[in-house]
Amino acid sequence: MRVADLGRETLGERLRAGLILETGPFRTRIVSRAPEVLAGLALLYGDFPVHTDGFADFHVQVDRVAGARRYFRPQVSFRFDGSEPFKPLPADHAFASLEWGLNWCIAGQAHHYLMLHAAVLEKNGRAVILPGDPGAGKSTLTAALSLSGFRLLSDELTLIDRDDGLLVPLARPVSLKNASIDVIRGFDPQAVLGDAAYDTHKGTVAHLKPSAESVLRMGEKAHPAFIVFPRWKAGAEARLTPHSKADAFMHAANHAFNYDLLGRLGYELNAGLIDACACHDFEYSRLADAVDVFTELLR
């Protein structure tokens, strides 16, 4: 059963009781009465499987805080296993809080994977990993590629299976910030974007719905083929240039969530990833040109 099969009223009932949402290898039991969470799940997670009972990897809750803040400038809190790891946020940040909280749960708990802070997409059986520093345009590029026939594995978390070194999909919504929101609306007027959350610690945030194919293929791992470091630059022509494998190794290690924790295994998985991939820098200004370059790269 999918989220879309429940209908809005039933989805709300399930959320109040505890909805088990499946995203790739994880199941999360979500409890919420927040209308923003209901709306976000209904719009952006319609293709994802849900379960009425059974095991869940994470148990989370997003709800209004008690007391005066329930009515005056209302706030919501994110809870994980009954604890509150973050300060409450404005009520209209409820869905964004759920997304950030799910990332936090995975990054802090899923140590049976090597986890890198990078996006992943696949086409023609070959996957490209996109690390990105803030402002580099990584999420904007990820969104454009996912809207252009590339399979989305993840926008934020690259999961490397410790048994075979393959990339494990999540396919959750792509987080877009500030100017990127309107850029993607202009790139594809048919793109499905959730309501924007304003004045967050990241500015204005909205999420892009992943393609039905990306969700349907969440159980299908991908072979790493490229690591590309994107950088948006006004007026730049789209071009790939070689990137040092030694530097790519250090970047991946320094931006992994659990490289040190995994010890020797972390080193071996990271080394295997770098050996399997060609590494490039990528400078661009126009998304259509970027899509053309990546289509040729993964042909």
108: left (phi over 0), alpha (psi -120 to 50) or beta: alpha
Model pLDDT, residue 240: 97
For residue 71, the model assigns a pLDDT of 67
State residue 82's pLDDT score: 87
Tens-digit pLDDT profile for residues 13-32: 999 999 999 999 999 999 99
DSSP 211-267: PHHHHHTTT--BEEEEEEEEEE-TTPPPEEEE--HHHHHHHHHHTBSSHHHHTHHHH
Determine the pLDDT at residue 156: 92
Q: What is the pLDDT of residue 80?
A: 96
- Low pLDDT (below 50) residues in the chain: none
Radius of gyration, CA atoms only, the chain: 19
> Cα separations (Å) of 148 from 76, 123, 213?
35, 10, 12
